[in-house]
Amino acid sequence: MKKFLDWISCILIVSIFGSANLGAWSAETVTKDPDTIYDATWEWTGTITPVEEIQVPNPENYWIKFSRDGSATLQVDCNKGRADFKVSPGKISFGPIATTRMACPEGSLDSRFAKDLGEVVSFFGDSQSLYLELPVDAGTLHFRRVASEAEVQSGVDVEGAKSLLSPDETLKVLDIPVGKGEVLKDMKIQGYKSDAFAVAVPAGNRLRVELKTDNTSTYFNVHDTRDQSGAAIHRGDIDGPIAVINATEPVTYLIRPYLYRAAARRGETSDYTLWVDVLEGGPTELVEVGSEMPPVDIEGARALLSEDETLKILGVTIDQGLVLNDKKIEGYKSEAYAVAVPGNTRLRVEMASKNPSTYYNIHDVRDQSGAAVHRSDVDGSVAVINVAVPTTYLIRPYLFRNAAREGKTADYTLWVV
């Protein structure tokens, strides 16, 4: 009976707030999970009690931000404040609220705001709204979520992304410029609980996402947040662990890692790494580099590059190599070379330079972890790699870090056969 009354009271509160334009709430997404209060600024928009209704004319002057260490920072009209708090599912309480002591303008709600916060005993909400409840049906404070400065600068449609989430998902905003990428390591899914990632992609560019894990029950979906139907434009369980999506218009994409339902229901966990890249330009045709050669995986090669590297495609054919003369490294700036090699053959690379600080790495672009299959500083200046299946290799000349940091230069010659 008590649960039924609680449910009815939630509906009544939200109906009243909705009629006052103080907030919106969905019974499908309501939660009492403490995780929902963090990583946000909550602005006070109003309070409903059995005897009065308060609408805050300037919510930006009354806000609260919760830290995971149990402290909260507040804006109490013209004063700043701080308080400790305790939170558990559906329950929250504040310790003494300390504020600065400026005299706020006439009509300020500073005293009422601080007083009511000190009496709060419980909470519920969703991704955009937070309701703090006073004891014994004495009233409810409504707060709206405000996008952080980082979210605003990223251009991410945070509201659209959050509206697609389930109560078990936590949104992380990725700020990735065009031509850059981010590697999210040591990520975890536990049952149904997981992080979801929102990233903005400008028109005319591409999003590349790749997931690697030892747990075969793990996959990810990608959503265009403009489509609120919940339909995914990439389903990892069907389309595979790599997604490349062309953005013809400015779009926020939502990347949602999951466990298969049976594994999630059993409460299994999964550790994974996620690569997210915003690639410059539209779709690139695969480059054929010889009648006997497989196509170069340009996207895979580019995804491994740093911002200081420029990609060059080598047209090497079987038994006919290339000599790259008078090549130069300047500090961290260098060229990198992608070459496609057929199966059941070999790749041979050799470097010559008068600068002893010069070396090169070779990468199999199918492995986006950044691990090298040949490191000339360890393995020597000549690499011979046996190739079992058609593969694109990326050859990356470098200076040792100290020399690069000092902006030194190196001339070299590279043989690729």
Domain annotation covers residue 86: yes
**C-alpha to C-alpha distance for 168 and 191, rounded to whole angstroms:** 9
Q: What is the CATH number of the domain that holds 318?
A: 2.60.120.380
CA dihedral for 388, 394, 398, 404, sign (positive or negative): negative
Q: How far is CA 369 from CA 175, 176, 211, 273, 372, in A?
A: 20, 18, 11, 9, 9
Is residue 394 included in any domain, yes or no?
yes
Where do we find the tokens 């409504």? Answer: 142
Q: Examine the fold and report which residue of 146, 179, 209 is the final residue of a domain before the chain moves on.
A: 146
Residue 210: inside a domain, yes or no?
Answer: yes
Question: Distance between alpha carbon 61 and the CA centroid of its chain, in Å?
Answer: 30
- DSSP strand E in 261-401: where? 269-279, 309-313, 322-330, 334-341, 345-353, 358-364, 374-375, 382-387, 391-399
pLDDT digits (tens, 9 = 90+) for 332-347: 999 999 998 888 788 8
Is residue 259 included in any domain, yes or no? yes
Whether residues 196 and 177 fall in one domain: yes
Q: Are residues 243 and 306 in the same domain?
A: no
Q: Tell whether 36 and 105 lie within a shared domain.
A: yes
Range of the domain at 213: 149-279
Asked whether residue 289 is domain-assigned, the answer is no
Per-residue pLDDT tens digits for 186-223: 899 999 999 999 999 988 888 889 898 999 999 999 99
Same domain, 172 and 230: yes
pLDDT in tens, 269-327: 999 999 888 887 654 433 333 334 568 888 899 999 998 999 988 876 655 567 788 89
124 and 164 in one domain? Answer: no
Q: Of 100, 54, 56, 93, nearest to 75 (Cα)?
A: 100
DSSP conformational letter for 135: G
Distance CA 120, CA 395 (A): 61
Residue with tokens 């996620």: 274
Co-location of 109 and 153 in the same domain: no
Query: 247 and 361 in one domain?
Result: no
User: Are 136 and 6 in a shared domain?
Assistant: yes
CA within 13 Å, CB half, 344 = 1
Q: Could you read off the pLDDT of 80-123 as tens digits, one per residue?
A: 999 999 999 999 999 999 999 999 999 999 999 999 999 999 99
Residues 136, 200: one domain? no
Same domain, 178 and 243: yes
* Residue 375 located in a structural domain: yes
Number of domains in the chain: 3
Q: What is the pTM of this model?
A: 0.46
Look at residue 286 and tell me if it is in a domain: no
Residue 287, in any domain of the structure: no
